[in-house]
Structure formats: C-alpha cells, structure tokens
C-alpha cells in the first residue's frame, strides 16, 4: 500500500525528516511514537502534501503511484487522509455541507457519481451516533466552538464518511478522556479491513491497547530508530524514550 523510501523533508529550510523508511501493507495498522519535536506531524503533513513541507529527497509510493507528484486534493481522492493533531476551525462553513462537498469532490475526481443526499445524511448520522456526537454539530460551522474532544471526534467522523484507503491519525487521542478515547478507538476499529491501512501517531499505550497495532515504530530526530511489535509500546511506557539514547550510544 505505502512505501516510503529514504524520505527527507525540510520545513522553512530546516531538515526535519532525515531519511525515513517505512512500509505499510494493506490492512495493516502501524503506530508511530516518539518524543515531541521528532517530526511525527511533519511526516503526516509531507504525506498529504501540505505547502511548505518540502520533500528534498526520497520517494513515496502509494498503491504503485508516485504520491509526491499529486496535488493535495488528488492525494485525498486517491485515498490518503490525515486526521490533524489540531483540527482547523472554518467559521461560517456548515459541517454537513463541508463533508458532502468534500465527499463529492473526491468522488468526482475518481469519476464516480455524486452521493445521494439522503443516503449521505443517513450515513453521517450513523457515524455521529457511533462517536456519541450530537446531531446538531452538523448544522454548526466546521470545528468552530467545538471542544477539544469534539474536534478530534469530528476528524474520525470525516474519516468514516470519506473512507480513505490510508488514514494517518496524528495524536487523535491526545487530550481525550478515557470514554472519548474508547469511542475513537471503536470508530477506528470499525473501519479496519483488509483494504484499509492506518498510521497512528500517539504518545500513549492506552490507545494502542484498543487498536492492537501490527507494528510500532519510534521516530527520533527525523528517523525511525526502532521498530517492533506491541511489546515495544509497553517498553516505551515503562522506560520512556531515554533508552533510545542508550541504544544509540
């Protein structure tokens, strides 16, 4: 599904990702952990093509295509989705309208028909129910006045409605209480299937307990310095990132 090879990303002239390799197969869920400032969000932004996140070296192949050649919205239509660490408020733009416009834009780019508006509303309402979000959120402006937790859950609603092939979740669990965390984890688990892959950026073992990742990677200073199975997360939880320095030394 995704093959990242020797990726280098610079932001404002400073190299942040410094030669990163990662392969994610169809249906797999990988977790990325690592200290603050290690480049986790930068990796997410670079994968979806945000301006200012310049790929200076390396390649990213997504389902056999060169992902880096595509515009932001083309990557979305191809099936790449990033749940932002800090979801953006869009004043004056109705949440339901935005979701439908986004879905239809993606469908159009893929040569598919527009969604039926009744089916669409049904499916959005269902997702809201799963995430225990009030239906009135649909009528409100995107993320405006949402609580931190509502914003994060709203990202998962978008994820569920847009049904990407690769979802990158950037600290979606940060700032959530345990109930909201469970809801998010359930939301993600429901969407897992053999055709959909996840990269989950997190600081916490808690979320991973629910998600049961196939692989865990530790990102430090722009590189993956350690990869392993679920036991790696447990070790990080116990020892923190300090052991990385020890292994490097």
Partner 1 sequence: MSALMEKLVPDTQAPDDGGFGLARRKALKVLMQHGFPQRKTEHWKYTPLALLEKRALQGPIAQQGERPPAPPALPFATGLVHLHNGVLDPDRSDLPSGVTLVAMLPEDIHFSELDDSGPAHAFAWLNIARFAEAWRIGVEPGLECRLAVVMSFDDGFSGVVHPRLKLELGEAATVTLVESQQGRGEGLCNRVFDIELATRSRLTHGIERASAGAAMIDRTVIDVGRDADYRAYVLDGGGPLTRQDLIVNLGHANAHGSICGVAILHDRSLVDYHTAIEHRVGPSTSAEDFRILADDQAVGVFNGRIHILPGADDSHSTMNTGNLLLSENARINTKPELEIHAEDVTASHGATIGQLDDLARFYLRSRGLDDNQAISLLKYGFAAAVFDELPEGDLRDWMIEQLRKRL
Ligand X SMILES: Nc1ncnc2c1ncn2[C@@H]1O[C@H](COP(=O)(O)OP(=O)(O)O)[C@@H](O)[C@H]1O
Q: Which of 10, 22, 39, 168 binds ligand X (CB under 6 A)?
A: 39
Of residues 123 and 205, the one with the C-beta less far from partner 1: 123
Residue 41 makes contact with Mg ion by CB under 5 A = yes
Is 16 a residue that touches ligand X (CB under 6 A)?
yes
Please identify, using beta-carbon distances, which residue of 103 and 180 lies nearer to partner 1: 103
Distance CA 80, CA 102 (A): 13
Q: Is 36 in the site for ligand X (CB under 6 A)?
A: yes
C-beta closer to ligand X: residue 211 or 219: 219
Taking the C-alpha atoms of residue 209 and residue 185, their distance in angstroms, rounded to an integer, is 9
* Contact region with ligand X (CB under 6 A), list: 20-28, 34-42, 154-162, 174-182: 34-42
Name which of partner 1, Mg ion, ligand X, none residue 39 binds, using a CB cut-off of 5 to 8 Å depending on partner kind. Answer: ligand X
Among 12, 64, 92, 111, binds ligand X (CB under 6 A): 12
- Phi first, then psi, for residue 36 (nearest 5°) are -55, 140
Distance of CA 106 to the CA centre of its chain: 18
CA 40 to chain centre: 11
Q: Which residues bind partner 1 (CB under 8 A)?
A: 48-51, 71-73, 75-77, 81-82, 84, 87-93, 98, 101-103, 105-106, 109, 141, 158, 162
Residues whose CB is less than 8 angstroms from the CB of residue 200 and which lie 6 or more positions away in sequence, other chains included? 29, 30, 31, 32, 168, 169, 172, 188, 207, 208, 211, 213
Q: What DSSP letter does each residue of 103-169 carry, written as one string?
A: HHHHHHHTTPPPPPHHHHHHHHHHHHHHTT--GGGGGSEETTT--HHHHHHHHHHHHHHH--SEEEE
Stretch (H or E) spanning 171: none
The encoded tokens of residue 145 equal: 């006045």
- Residue 42's binding partner among partner 1, ligand X, Mg ion, none (Cβ under 5 to 8 angstroms by kind) is ligand X
Nearer to partner 1, 13 or 91 (CB): 91
CB of 39 to Mg ion, least distance (A): 8
What are the residues whose beta carbons fall under 8 Å from the beta carbon of 119, sequence distance 6 or more?
A: none
Q: Which of 7, 10, 20, 40 binds ligand X (CB under 6 A)?
A: 40
**What gap in Å lies between CA 17 and CA 38, rounded to an integer?**
8
Q: Which stretch binds Mg ion (CB under 5 A): 84-92, 183-191, 204-212, 229-237?
A: 84-92
Taking the least distance from each CB to Mg ion, the nearer of 49 and 96 is 49
Which residues lie near ligand X (CB under 6 A)? 11-12, 16, 34, 36-42
């Amino acid at each position: 599904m995704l093959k990242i090879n020797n990726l280098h990303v610079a932001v404002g002239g400073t190299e942040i990702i410094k030669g990163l390799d990662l392969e994610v197969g169809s249906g797999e869920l990988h977790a990325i952990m690592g200290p603050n400032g290690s480049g986790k969000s930068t990796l997410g932004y670079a994968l979806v093509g945000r301006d200012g996140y310049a790929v200076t070296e390396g390649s990213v192949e997504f389902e056999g295509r060169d992902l880096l050649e595509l515009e932001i919205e083309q990557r979305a239509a191809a099936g790449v989705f990033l749940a932002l660490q800090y979801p953006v408020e869009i004043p004056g733009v109705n949440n339901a309208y935005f979701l439908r416009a986004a879905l239809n834009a993606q469908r159009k780019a893929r040569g598919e028909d527009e969604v039926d508006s009744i089916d669409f509303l049904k499916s959005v309402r269902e997702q809201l129910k799963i995430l225990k979000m009030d239906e009135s959120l649909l009528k409100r402006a995107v993320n405006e006045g949402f609580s931190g937790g509502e914003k994060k859950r709203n990202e998962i609603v978008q994820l569920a409605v847009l049904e990407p092939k690769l979802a990158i979740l950037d600290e979606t669990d940060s700032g959530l209480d345990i109930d909201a965390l469970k809801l998010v984890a359930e939301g993600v688990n429901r969407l897992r299937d053999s055709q959909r892959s996840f990269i989950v950026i997190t600081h916490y073992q808690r979320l991973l307990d629910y998600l049961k990742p196939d692989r865990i990677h530790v990102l430090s200073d722009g590189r993956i310095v350690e990869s392993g199975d679920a036991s790696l997360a447990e070790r990080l939880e116990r020892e923190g990132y300090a052991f990385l320095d020890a292994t490097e030394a």
